[in-house]
Amino acid sequence: MTAPTRTEIRSAPHIKGPRSVEQIMANVVYSLLPICAFFVYQYGISAAASILVVTAACLLAERAFVRTGTQAGSLSDFSATITGLLLALTLPPGFPLWMGAVAGISAIALGKALFGGIGFNVFNPALVGRAFVQAAFPAAIATYTPSFLPGRFTQFIPSSLAWPLMAPADTAAWLKAMQFDALASATPLAKWKFEGTLTAAGDLLTSLAGHMAVGPSPVLILTCGAYLALRRFMDWRIPAAVLGSAGLTAWLIFALGGTKYPDPFFMLFSGGLILGAVYMATDMATSPVTPRGMWVYGGLIGVLTVVIRYYSGLPEGVMYAILIGNAATPLIERITQPTPFGKGASIRTRKSASYTLHPDYISREEASAKTPKKRFFKNKPKKS
Amino acid sequence: MKLLSYFRGEAFQRGVHPPGCKHTADTPIRRLPFAPRLVVPLSQHIGKPSRPIVRVGEEVLRGQPIAEADGWLSVPQHAPATGVVEAIELRPSARGPWTECIVIRVYEASTQEVLWGTPQDLDAFPPQDIVLAVQRTGMVGLGGAAFPSHAKLTVPEGARVETLVVNGCECEPYLTCDHRVMVEQARDLMTGIRHAMRATGALRAIIGVEDNKPAAAEAMRRALPPGSEIFVEEVPTKYPQGSEKMLVTALFGVEVPSGKLPLSLGMVVNNVGTLAALGRLLPAGQGLIERVVTVTGPGVARPGDYRVPLGTPISFVLDYAGAPAQARQVILGGPMMGQSVASLDVPVTKGVSGVLVFRGEDMAGREGRKTFPCIKCGECVESCPMGLNPSMLGMLAARREYDAMGEQYHLGDCFECGCCTYTCPSNIPLVQQFRVAKQILREKAAA
């Protein structure tokens, strides 16, 4: 046995954890697949076509920008796939396919490539894409159709197949032919905002009760999110903070404002709040890395969502709330830096510790040191 | 895992769980034969290098002092084998620069009996004399830091020591030398602890062992002298528990203030290997001439814990243990913080706890990985035991804003455990960047 003749010099650590970007992203995609399947089950081939076209548009745009060297990353990291799937889930199922493609391309171009690709984006690309089409095609994006229509697996919703740059066909007439009134195609949030009728929270939770114009079941989204959180591909703090603060704000307004406002459960399970809290707000690149920052960021999004829903002209506010939260992320991070080891409360004993210290032996300087007040915003500038 | 630990009450916050790979935990310590030539560096410790007291051509006995301490923060060196001093010259060291070494040609026909040393009755010694006796053994921290032990056992004016914390965590993957020492030399360890407690005036000693070494904890519990204030405490396994501040937090639930030593909380932390060696050397009045080294790695034919004479070249150790011919990386120490060596002529020194060999195929998993930009997943923040924000530090390092790293983001607190790099899914060399940044800041401060 001879000793090696050629060795290499490397810098420690010499071993590497199992986790990789591809693995994280692939797991998010896996967890999204059941949700997409449910969406297709609800709305049939229109939804399937929408998901395929939007995702393909995202992937093509990503490919083009990576090829031209405009942004970092590659298709194999699955991040553009996530953007495409999420974007498709936020669009109405009968959204014209060419508009879906515009949404996908603008999501990657404006939301990601502009900033330099994976990791550098400031805003969630899927929401940037949605915001773009919401501004560009306000009528089409507000046109919902009821779920579980008969024949949804054999025929497209007529608006889906609009020619590029052409106005989509009118779905109201199509629905009328199928014995649905105009109200059936309004989302629960729009019904509440403009008609004043509430949908039961239990029906919203499963999305299964009759022909409602709703997205995939919140229960399913929460389950898929729980899988990600348990395998630590997602931080549980952000959805917890978003839902907690949205629920709390809605409950406070409900308790103080009385019957004028809906109950907090309706607020939580309607619209895109669950999908936004679990999949949009938790986008790693656009949310804070600091644990305390995650709570602040989630809390901000929750409050903003409820405020926009209640006090603005729009029925839905999750998208703008998350985009504002994204914009605030660098600031939130700055004031919520973690406290380094040994720089917090100088002598703080944990209750479960096996041994205790005798105060006489702690050096005088340390014993007399005042325990600094625990401040949530450590770096908050003091008022002078 | 993380969710659970929220409710369980952790040993210390954050940290990582690399696979243990402690394949050699059940193999008894074996003795390595003497290499034909031993290279004893004069600087195997933190502090001033020792001063040689032998000349070229002089014959030395095994255990005889061959270099003396140069000042307080320095230790003497002893001849690891009977032979003749062949040269006192510059030789490569593990860290890179060539250092002054005493080269001894070993007499093959010698019995290699340790004849040097006078037994001493330590119980009659006052504490400061025990400290001097410790310095005479040439002992340094065998855990890897190689800080002179007598300096660590010296209690400065105004401070009092309540607890002697004995560090038997050995949190680095692959390494098992401390484990074997705890199992096989528990009695020596207790003697060492007793003398160290007397030297520091500590009232009690707590041995912290990670709970992946139940055999070691059991062996030490059996060796506990009746009625002594020595306790064995098992702490949940987690890297980097072997860092003294982390161990103190795991045992007492307190954080050692930043920039201070555990001494400020009335504690002195010593490694088990150090105290076990002291327990054997001090009563006999001998010097440190060998240490237990874990030789392991995938593909090593005879991995195990070897009692290696100090100064044995790595190439000799690898030959004996049967390193694979396709080995591509040789690391001194553990895989998380160890040093990879450029030359296999480098000798085993007092601070070397392991010799780890990786083949090309073992490194393929690491090399094939693509590096992504930071996706701000927060894994590093969740793993940094010092509570820093490596993600932010990494971005600042990429922009070369070293001053901001030091002033606003507490770079000085980083002790380079490597958790951030280990855990980073984007494969960003975070701790490597921090090492560079710290060096640049040090040079700036010196200028």
pLDDT tens by residue, B135-144: 999 999 998 7
Predicted pLDDT of residue B95:
78
Nearest to A73 among B9, B372, B409 (CB): B372
Nearest chain B CA: its distance from A19 CA (Å) = 5
The residue of chain B nearest to residue A340, with distances taken between CA atoms, is B387
- Residue ranges of domains in chain A: 21-143+145-185
- Identify from B377, B395, B417 which residue to disrupt to test chain A contact, counting A C-beta atoms within 10 A and taking the largest count: B377
pLDDT over 80 (residue B97): yes
Calculate the alpha carbon distances from A93 to A29, A140, A316 in Å: 20, 11, 17
* Residues in chain A closer than 8 A to B245 (CB atoms): 341-342
- List the alpha helices (DSSP H) in B86-185: 127-137, 149-153, 177-184
**pLDDT, mean over chain B:** 89
Nearest chain A CA: its distance from B366 CA (Å) = 6
The reply to whether residue B336 touches residue A339, judged by beta carbons under 8 angstroms, is no
- Give the pLDDT band (50/70/90) at residue A345: low
The residue of chain B nearest to residue A73, with distances taken between CA atoms, is B372
Q: How far apart are CA B138 and CA B287, in angstroms?
A: 6
Highest mean pLDDT among A294-308, B154-168, B246-260: A294-308
The reply to whether residue A353 touches residue B161, judged by beta carbons under 8 angstroms, is no
- Identify from B376, B405, B408, B433 which residue to disrupt to test chain A contact, counting A C-beta atoms within 10 A and taking the largest count: B376
* Residues in chain A closer than 8 A to B338 (CB atoms): 12, 14
The reply to whether residue B329 touches residue A14, judged by beta carbons under 8 angstroms, is yes
What number is the average pLDDT over the span A88-108?
A: 92
The string of DSSP letters for B248-300 reads HHHHHS-PPPTT--GGGGTEEEEEHHHHHHHHHHHHHT----EEEEEEE-TT-
pLDDT over 90 (residue B323): no
What pTM, to 2 d.p., does this model score?
0.87
The residue of chain B nearest to residue A286, with distances taken between CA atoms, is B376
Predicted pLDDT of residue A5:
61
Predicted pLDDT of residue A182:
65
Domains of chain B: 2-24+118-284 (3.40.50.11540), 32-113+290-362 (3.10.20.600), 379-446 (no CATH)
Largest CA distance in chain A: 87
Q: How far apart are CA B176 and CA B292, in angstroms?
A: 9
Nearest chain B CA: its distance from A292 CA (Å) = 11
pLDDT over 50 (residue A196): yes
Predicted pLDDT of residue A384:
44
Mapping DSSP to helix (H, G, I), strand (E, B) and coil, where does residue B205 land? strand
The reply to whether residue B328 touches residue A6, judged by beta carbons under 8 angstroms, is yes
Predicted pLDDT of residue A359:
64
Nearest chain B CA: its distance from A27 CA (Å) = 13
Structure tokens of B359?
Answer: 């083949």
The pLDDT > 70 percentage for chain B reads 97
* Residues in chain A closer than 8 A to B423 (CB atoms): 17, 19
* Residues in chain A closer than 8 A to B331 (CB atoms): 12, 14
The reply to whether residue A4 touches residue B337, judged by beta carbons under 8 angstroms, is no
The reply to whether residue B206 touches residue A355, judged by beta carbons under 8 angstroms, is yes
| Radius of gyration over every alpha carbon of chain A, rounded to an integer in angstroms | 25
The residue of chain A nearest to residue B10, with distances taken between CA atoms, is A352
The reply to whether residue A4 touches residue B432, judged by beta carbons under 8 angstroms, is no
Count each helix (H run) and each strand (E run) in chain A, helices first.
16, 0
* A-B contacts at Cβ under 8 angstroms: 255
- Identify from A118, A292, A361 which residue to disrupt to test chain B contact, counting B C-beta atoms within 10 A and taking the largest count: A361
Nearest to B325 among A2, A229, A284 (CB): A2
What number is the average pLDDT over the span A346-369?
A: 58
Q: What is the pLDDT of residues B294-314, one digit of tens each?
A: 999 888 889 999 999 999 999
Q: Burial-class residue B48 by CB neighbours within 10 Å (0-12, 13-18, 19+).
A: middle
Q: What is the pLDDT of residues B333-380, one digit of tens each?
A: 999 999 888 888 899 999 999 999 988 777 766 777 888 889 999 899
Nearest to B329 among A8, A13, A285 (CB): A8
Helix, strand, coil percentages (3-state) for chain B, rounded to 5, are 35, 20, 45
